[in-house]
Structure 1
Amino acid sequence: MKIGVNTFVWTSPFTTRDFTLMPKIKAMGFDIIEVAVEDTALIDVPLLRKTARDEGLELTICGAFGTTRDISSDDPAIRRNGVAYITDCLRLTEAVGSSLFAGPVYSAVGKTRMVSPDQKAQERAWCVENLRGLGKIATDAGITIAIEPLNRFETDMINLVDQAIELIHEVGDPAFKVHIDTFHANIEERSIPDAIRRAGDLLGHFHACENDRGTPGTGSIDWVGVRDALRGVGYAGPVVIESFTPGIVEIAKAAAIWRPLASSQDELARDGARFLRQLLG
């Protein structure tokens, strides 16, 4: 397992000028930089690939799904915009030589409502239809799309690993896998290790986040149980720290980071990397 860190730890939106983060990220002991793409136009894609390669860092890509990027919306223009955004992200992922695009691709972050069964079924149908089309693009590019369950305060669609698995089976495309984030799973799953075991070989990405989104190892997550479950299912993919700097642009309200989570963002990343190295050693 290789250790990574998400650019949301330091900046939002991520732009070409933020490539200067990479030497620091490498010096902290990370193997991977996970680029949170809020706007593909802000990123010099060939330079991103070259800079990461020069620093000895691998790349993973994650999306930021605001209200205008909802592939399950009842507004067809918003659905089209969501598909176009994900397609652009997949093209970027391919161009930088990565094989992983992750996030809650199924809906908008912060979309939480009580709706009728008929409306819920219709939204899911739109979601499945759009994911099938996106799966073809991903498969052709050799990319895995990792579907991330979010907690109940951030989505009403996919909260559990079991729900992500059901959606993947309904879509029926091998491009899709499960993305587990321990922050969300700590709220929704009865046991994070058991959720990892249920995902099994469908586990395609992993975010190692503390229960308060602070430094991994400083809170209440059962990290030994997490480690043992990851090893038990033979997971060999990225283990990425995701936290947020206050004031993120695309999903600020849903992420709800209103206070610092460590003495500094550098401390959060550096100490988190050290903890995960010791844990996963």
Structure 2
Amino acid sequence: MIKSCATIALVPEINYGPWIFWKDLEKGMEKAAELGFDAIELFTPTSTTVEFDFLHELLTKYQLELAAVGTGAGKVIHGLTLTDPDPEIRKKAISFISDMIAFGATFGAPAIIGSMQGNVLPGNDRNQTLSWLAEGLEILGEKAGEQHTFLIYEPLNRYETNLLNTMKAGVEFLGKLETKQVKLLADLFHMNIEEADIPKSILEANGHIGHIHFADSNRKPIGLGHTEMAPIAKAIKDIQYSGFISAEAFPEPSPDEAAIQTIQSFRKFFS
């Protein structure tokens, strides 16, 4: 069964971005539950920001699941990526993501690698950079598997990374890894920029998609841009996807209105 998911950002250093609810964990969860969301996706500064017992209590209270945890604070706050030329920084990046994997796995949720994948920096060799990425994903994929979960790798658009921008590139890259614990994140906003045919890309990535980010062409909630959602939804159902559809979208016009727009769109296309 496909499940709906609201995003909650708890990083003090960030005041705006593609997350529906902000700052107040319980208030965000209460609103998500009230609107009928199945789960939340968390973006936190560290793996210890939210105490286990407190989160467990809230998830139980509001009858929500934890769908996934983001790792982007590792780059935003600490400047860590898996492809930094400095081996010490790569080591710290792996450690940071490992902690996030452990945090999420406690609740049965995978960790997402988006911005922490990094870039091919000026003056650096692309093949070498991709080998660093592969090395990091091998280690982290196995760590996820040891904790009975998987790892999510997100192809980003060309304005955010020069590594892997399409689902096809992601499938081919992951196919060369020894670990089979890494799945792809299909982010509809990024795909709107990079994919010639979004439904086709989803169909061709069948079996590799572990999470979906639900945002329109302008990264506002679905229905507020020009993404043609009906054929995309059909492709998602055709591959028998049974994970979460998560609203990584700007909180516009307001968080509450964005949440309402998202859940209404989710029900329109997936209920």
TM-score, normalization: structure 1?
A: 0.86
Structure 1 residue 53, shift from structure 2 partner = 2.0
What are the superposed Cα offsets for residues 61-89 of structure 1, whole Å, 9 maximum, x if unpaired?
Answer: 22215262201110112101110110010
Letter of the 2:87 partner, please give it: P
> What residue number does 1:79 align with?
90
- Matched-pair contact (CA < 8 Å) for 1:23–1:55: yes
Say whether residues 1:219 and 2:225 are aligned partners. yes
> What residue number does 2:111 align with?
101
Structure 1 residue 50, shift from structure 2 partner = 2.1
Q: Distance in 2 between matches of 1:145 and 1:186?
A: 23
> What residue number does 1:34 align with?
41
Match for residue 267 of structure 1 among 235, 257, 264? 257
Structure 2: gaps (5+ residues): 9-18
* Pairing 1:177-216 to 2, within 5 Å after superposition: 177-216=183-222
Say whether residues 1:63 and 2:74 are aligned partners. no
SS at match of 1:193: helix
Q: Distance in 2 between matches of 1:58 and 1:188?
A: 31
Structure 1: gaps (5+ residues): 246-261
SS at match of 1:42: coil
Match for residue 24 of structure 1 among 16, 31, 37? 31
> What residue number does 1:256 align with?
none
Letter of the 1:62 partner, please give it: G
Which moves more between the two structures, 159-168 or 60-69? 60-69
Q: Distance in 2 between matches of 1:171 and 1:73?
A: 20
Q: Distance in 1 between matches of 2:32 and 2:128?
A: 43
* Pairing 1:41-190 to 2, within 5 Å after superposition: 41-60=48-67, 61-64=69-72, 65-66=74-75, 68-95=79-106, 97-104=107-114, 107-108=117-118, 111=119, 115=123, 119-190=125-196
Which moves more between the two structures, 144-153 or 62-71? 62-71
Q: Mark the CA change 1:128 to 1:106 in structure 2 (over 3 Å): closer, same or farther.
A: farther
- Matched-pair contact (CA < 8 Å) for 2:75–2:115: no
Structure 1 residue 113, shift from structure 2 partner = 5.0
> What residue number does 1:259 align with?
none
Q: For the aligned residues, what is the CA RMSD? A: 1.8
> What residue number does 2:15 align with?
none
Using the aligned pairs only, state the percent identity: 24
> What residue number does 2:269 align with?
279
Letter of the 1:152 partner, please give it: R
